C-alpha cells in the first residue's frame, strides 16, 4: 500500500547511515517486512529501483524477508498462524487475538564499500 | 510520509554499529511517525483528553455522525474535531456549524493522516477544555489503519449502503477498532444488507470490539454510542503517565 513512502524512508535511513559510516556505495539492503503491512515485494522492488537513482544505493540488491503473522489467543493463550482474513483461534474458536509476530518493518542491515 | 532527518540521525547513531562493511541498522521505518504519535498521546494525556481516530470509506457518514454526536453531547462533554481531507474545508465548516471547535487538515492528495499532521493541528486546539478529541481521518479503509496518530482508540464506520463485505475485504481496520459504528441503519429496509450476517462476521474478525447499529437521521443507536464515549472519557480517563489503547470492554 505505502510501498513508495516505505522505500523512501528506507533510503533516507540507509543514506544517512552510509554517510556516517563512510560508505560511498551500497551493494545490498536487507529489509524485514511483517505480513500485516501487506507490502508487496514487487512494488517494494519497483519503488527501490526508482528512488535509489542518483543515491549511494543505486544498483544495490534489495533483499526482503517476509515474516508471517503469528497470533496469540487472548482467551486460551494458544499461538497460531491465521488462515485468510479471520483471526479465529483454532483451539477455542474465539476471535480475540493479539499480534505476536508479523508487524515488523525495518532495515536489518545494509552492505557497502 | 514525512521523515525527521534529525531523529533518523539520532536513531542510527544509537543503533548502527560497523561490522566490516555490513552496517546493522535495525530501526523501524515508521519510526518518525511512531515517535510523533507518542508525543501527541502524551500531550492529550496531560490535558486529560481522550482521542478517537475515526476511520471509514468515503461517504459512510463520519461527519454526519460527528454532527449528531456533538448535538447529543452538548452541555455534557466538550468535544473537538480534527478533520482530514485531501482538499476543501467543507467538513470542518459543517462541524463548526454544530458548535464544535474544528481544525481542518488538507493532505493535498495523501491518502491518510500522519502523526505529524495531527500534532500540528493539536497546537490549534483548546485541549485544556476538551474531554474528547475526534480525528476524522481521510476516507479510506486501508492506509489510515497503518498510522498511529497518538489516539487512544480507533473507531471504524461501516454504512449500510456499502454492503456487508467491507470488514472481510478490509479486515485490518476492523480488527484494530475498539468499536465499529454501523451507520445509515434507517436504510436497512431498502437494501440487501444482512445485518445478522454482518454482525456474525464482525465477531469473527474482532470478537473484542463494540458494535453500534446507528442512524444519524432517525437517532437510532446514538444514545448507546454516546454512552460508550462517556465511559471512555469519564471512567477511563487516561493516566497522566502513560497512553495505551482501550480494547473494547464489555459495557455499552
Half-sphere exposure of A23 (CA within 13 A, CB side): 27
Task: Answer whether residue B28 shows pLDDT above 90.
Answer: no
Is residue A72 less than 8 Å (CB to CB) from chain B? no
A2 is annotated as contributing to ligand binding: yes
Task: Answer whether residue B224 shows pLDDT above 70.
Answer: yes
Is residue A110 less than 8 Å (CB to CB) from chain B? yes
| CB-CB contact of B96 with B102 (8 Å) | yes
Question: Phi/psi at B55 (nearest 5 deg)?
Answer: -130, 135
Report DSSP state, residue B60.
S
pLDDT in tens, B139-181: 999 889 888 999 999 999 999 999 999 999 998 899 999 999 9
| B91 confidence band (pLDDT: 50, 70, 90) | very high
For residues B200 and B197, give the distance between their C-alpha atoms in angstroms, rounded to a whole number: 5
Say yes or no for a CB contact (<8 Å) between B1 and A12.
Answer: no
Q: Say if pTM beats, i.e. exceeds, 0.90.
A: no
pLDDT of residue A37: 82
pLDDT of residue B135: 97
Residues of chain A contacting residue B28, judged by C-beta atoms under 8 Å apart: 105-106
For residues B10 and B57, give the distance between their C-alpha atoms in angstroms, rounded to a whole number: 37
pLDDT of residue A92: 93
**Which of A9, A96, A109 is nearest residue B1 as measured by Cβ atoms?**
A9
Say yes or no for a CB contact (<8 Å) between A109 and B25.
Answer: yes
For residues A77 and A22, give the distance between their C-alpha atoms in angstroms, rounded to a whole number: 47
pLDDT of residue B235: 53
Fold of A2-68+101-112: hypothetical protein PF0899 fold (3.30.2320)
Identify the burial level of A47 via C-beta atoms within 10 angstroms of its C-beta, where 0-12 means exposed, 13-18 middle and 19 or more buried: buried
Say yes or no for a CB contact (<8 Å) between A96 and B205.
Answer: no
B64-85: average pLDDT: 94
Name the average pLDDT for chain B: 86
Task: Answer whether residue B124 shows pLDDT above 90.
Answer: yes
Residues of chain B contacting residue A108, judged by C-beta atoms under 8 Å apart: 24-26
ipTM for the complex? 0.82
Q: Which residues lie closer than 8 Å to B14 by C-beta, 6 or more apart?
A: none
CA distance B60 to chain A (A): 22
Amino acid at each position: 500500500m505505502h510501498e513508495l513512502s516505505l522505500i523512501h524512508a528506507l533510503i533516507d535511513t540507509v543514506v544517512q547511515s552510509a554517510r556516517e559510516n563512510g560508505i560511498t556505495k551500497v551493494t545490498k539492503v536487507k529489509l524485514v517486512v511483517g505480513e500485516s503491512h501487506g507490502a508487496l515485494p514487487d512494488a517494494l522492488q519497483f519503488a527501490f529501483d526508482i528512488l535509489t537513482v542518483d543515491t549511494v544505493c543505486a544498483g544495490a540488491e534489495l533483499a526482503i524477508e517476509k515474516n508471517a503473522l503469528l497470533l496469540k489467543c487472548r482467551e486460551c493463550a494458544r499461538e497460531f498462524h491465521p488462515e485468510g482474513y479471520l483471526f479465529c483461534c483454532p483451539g477455542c474458536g474465539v476471535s480475540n487475538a493479539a499480534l505476536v509476530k508479523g508487524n515488523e518493518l525495518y532495515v536489518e542491515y545494509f552492505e557497502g564499500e | 510520509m514525512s521523515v525527521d532527518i534529525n531523529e533518523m540521525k539520532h536513531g542510527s547513531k544509537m543503533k548502527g554499529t560497523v561490522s566490516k562493511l555490513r552496517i546493522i541498522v535495525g530501526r523501524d521505518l515508521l519510526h518518525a511517525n511512531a515517535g510523533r504519535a507518542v508525543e501527541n498521546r502524551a500531550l492529550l494525556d496531560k490535558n486529560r483528553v481522550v482521542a478517537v481516530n475515526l476511520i471509514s470509506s468515503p461517504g459512510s457518514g463520519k461527519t454526519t455522525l460527528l454532527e449528531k454526536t456533538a448535538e447529543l453531547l452538548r452541555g455534557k462533554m466538550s468535544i473537538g474535531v480534527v478533520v482530514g481531507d485531501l482538499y476543501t474545508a467543507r467538513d470542518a465548516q459543517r462541524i463548526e456549524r454544530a458548535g464544535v471547535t474544528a481544525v481542518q487538515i488538507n493532505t493535498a492528495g495523501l491518502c491518510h493522516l500522519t502523526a505529524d499532521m495531527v500534532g500540528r493541528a493539536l497546537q490549534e486546539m483548546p485541549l485544556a477544555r476538551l474531554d474528547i478529541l475526534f480525528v476524522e481521518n481521510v476516507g479510506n479503509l486501508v492506509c489510515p489503519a497503518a498510522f498511529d496518530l497518538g489516539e487512544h482508540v480507533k473507531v471504524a464506520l461501516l454504512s449500510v449502503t456499502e454492503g456487508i463485505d467491507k470488514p472481510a475485504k478490509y479486515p485490518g481496520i476492523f480488527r484494530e477498532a475498539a468499536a465499529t459504528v454501523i451507520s445509515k441503519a434507517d436504510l436497512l429496509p431498502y437494501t440487501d444488507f444482512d445485518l445478522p450476517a454482518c454482525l456474525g462476521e464482525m465477531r469473527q474478525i474482532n470478537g473484542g470490539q463494540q458494535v453500534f447499529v446507528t442512524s444519524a437521521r432517525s437517532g437510532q443507536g446514538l444514545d448507546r454510542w454516546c454512552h460508550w464515549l462517556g465511559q471512555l472519557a469519564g471512567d477511563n480517563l487516561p493516566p497522566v503517565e502513560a497512553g495505551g489503547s482501550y480494547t473494547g470492554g464489555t459495557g455499552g
